[in-house]
Chains A and B, each alone.
Chain A
């Protein structure tokens, strides 16, 4: 997993700038990350990394840091 790919998925799904994508960014903290954007984010991540996320992982992906953690489970490793 390249950091830039992950960042790009957040940028596209939430419609925010790359600088805003920090580990601390959490669901519902900004207006742009609502439930609709969350589902778009999930689709982006699944497309980008060619994976299929489990229900629990979709629900647990409540911050950028969490997203990184979860993606590691899918053997999506940093390049």
Chain B
């Protein structure tokens, strides 16, 4: 397993934290040191919970508040090395949400930036393969988590390293949250390859971000559609970026115009650009396409990653491979037994062309992705319902639209109610209010068969 072989890369740079004021300030942790730090924290954890005396199925579980920092990566590696399942938590999740998660998973300790807060030392039956629990929605603290095994993590890292040009001399910028499967896969693959991961506290709209990019000689970046929307708005492809070798995009569909632009940029500047498709349910990645493919087919998600198979079953994209999760869990009790999943149903509708390249055509489930936030529309409806509102939530990847039933209320009330609905949704999703639109109607539209007519609801927002 990659997390047990870190020491082998010796004095190569592993994790680099950076700041910039006038010049680059960096703190480098090499592989030998990283390994040592993770092992000593793992030792502390094992000692605290006297793991070795327990049977393989009786295990302790830790929760890790996963920041985008060197310390959090050490926490994560320590849990893996100590053979303790880890629940990764969005560090920005508010306390009530965290507490709710703890009541579901009863962690034995909560770890944040190398600080261990022990809560209890009672073990419970947890399947011996369970390594990691990743949130399906990082912002709402919902109890449902994806359960991944040690073998899942290893298999996906190996496979990604087969198709991405990751080299030991690379310095990848960690730009995505690490409790998010895509962000975490950047960490896993680079640790597997003996490459360096660079952390910076800046966002793309800050000058220091670009200074770090140049001074720290960043060779690759990973981004979700929202990241590339911002980068393209900043016209970053006009910059001279001599150290940058390749870019990857995943986490939702980037518009085809942007994909074409990035593919052409890569081709012209001897760089590489990859569009990848995946889900946390498959550890991270399921398919990829390089810029040569994307030049002709900007809408494709490409082909299955090495070791995996994609197929279409009644229109739905399905995937099989060693990176398919063990299953879902919504509590600690649910971690003891899992039914093996043969084919993972992605919930996405797809087609495949004669050359074997796949295209996503829609979603079976009602999800939208706005500004990088994955929003479950049905869940939003139940949140509003809990606040006393009857509404349909619809939308596309630029906005969340709410059709609100407001019987016998004056138009002045409507403005106030509209504002409250926006406030509730902003609080739940973290979404910018400008991306939330509310349309009060006297009656919610129904189809002829009496079902919710979402197509009609969407037409209110044309």
Residues of A within 8 A of B (CB): 12-13, 15, 27, 34-40, 42, 55, 58-60, 62
- Interface class of chain A by DSSP: helix
* A12 B204 Cβ-Cβ under 8 A: no
In the complex, the chain B residue whose C-beta lies closest to that of A34 is B203
Contact string, B238-274, partner A, CB cutoff 8 A, digits 1/0? 1100000000000000000000000000000000000
Contact string, B391-410, partner A, CB cutoff 8 A, digits 1/0? 00000000000000000000
Contacts of A27 in B (CB 8 A): 205-206
The answer to the question of B226 belonging to the interface, with a C-beta cut-off of 8 Å to chain A, is yes
* B207 A35 Cβ-Cβ under 8 A: no
* B432 A36 Cβ-Cβ under 8 A: yes
The answer for the CA separation of A60 and B206 in the assembled complex, in Å, is 7
* A12 B205 Cβ-Cβ under 8 A: no
The answer for the CA separation of A58 and B205 in the assembled complex, in Å, is 7
Task: Determine which residue in A36, A38, A59, A62 has the highest number of CB atoms from chain B within 10 A of its CB, and name it.
Answer: A36
* B238 A59 Cβ-Cβ under 8 A: no
Segment of B140-148, B228-236, B286-294, B358-366 in the binding face: B228-236
Contacts of B210 in A (CB 8 A): 59
Kindly list 17 other residue pairs between chains A and B, CB separation below 8 angstroms, not including A34-B203, A36-B371, A39-B205. Answer: A15-B432, A15-B433, A15-B434, A27-B206, A35-B203, A35-B205, A36-B226, A38-B205, A39-B229, A39-B230, A39-B233, A40-B434, A58-B205, A59-B205, A59-B210, A59-B234, A60-B207
* B234 A58 Cβ-Cβ under 8 A: yes
* B236 A55 Cβ-Cβ under 8 A: yes
The answer for the CA separation of A67 and B462 in the assembled complex, in Å, is 33
In the complex, how many angstroms separate the beta carbon of B54 from the nearest chain A beta carbon?
Answer: 43
Contacts of A38 in B (CB 8 A): 203, 205
Contacts of A34 in B (CB 8 A): 203
Contacts of B230 in A (CB 8 A): 35, 39
* A-B contacts, 9 listed (Cβ < 8 Å): A27-B205, A36-B432, A38-B203, A55-B238, A58-B233, A59-B205, A60-B207, A62-B206, A62-B207
Q: Give the 8 A-B residue pairs with the shortest CB-CB distance, closest first.
A: A35-B203, A38-B205, A15-B433, A59-B207, A35-B205, A55-B234, A55-B235, A36-B371
The answer for the CA separation of A39 and B226 in the assembled complex, in Å, is 11
The answer for the CA separation of A59 and B239 in the assembled complex, in Å, is 14
The answer for the CA separation of A62 and B207 in the assembled complex, in Å, is 9
Contacts of B434 in A (CB 8 A): 12-13, 15, 40
Interfacial residues of chain B within 177-233, with CB under 8 A of chain A in the complex: 203-207, 210, 226, 229-230, 233
Contacts of B204 in A (CB 8 A): 35
The answer for the CA separation of A65 and B210 in the assembled complex, in Å, is 22
In the complex, how many angstroms separate the beta carbon of B224 from the nearest chain A beta carbon?
Answer: 12
The answer for the CA separation of A12 and B236 in the assembled complex, in Å, is 26
In the complex, the chain B residue whose C-beta lies closest to that of A56 is B207
* B432 A37 Cβ-Cβ under 8 A: yes
The answer for the CA separation of A37 and B230 in the assembled complex, in Å, is 11
The answer for the CA separation of A24 and B196 in the assembled complex, in Å, is 38
In the complex, the chain A residue whose C-beta lies closest to that of B370 is A36
The answer for the CA separation of A39 and B233 in the assembled complex, in Å, is 8
In the complex, the chain A residue whose C-beta lies closest to that of B234 is A55
The answer for the CA separation of A40 and B370 in the assembled complex, in Å, is 13
Contact string, B66-100, partner A, CB cutoff 8 A, digits 1/0? 00000000000000000000000000000000000
In the complex, the chain B residue whose C-beta lies closest to that of A12 is B434
The answer for the CA separation of A62 and B388 in the assembled complex, in Å, is 40
In the complex, how many angstroms separate the beta carbon of A20 from the nearest chain B beta carbon?
Answer: 15
In the complex, the chain B residue whose C-beta lies closest to that of A32 is B432
Contacts of A15 in B (CB 8 A): 432-434
In the complex, how many angstroms separate the beta carbon of B229 from the nearest chain A beta carbon?
Answer: 8
In the complex, how many angstroms separate the beta carbon of B174 from the nearest chain A beta carbon?
Answer: 16
Contacts of A60 in B (CB 8 A): 207
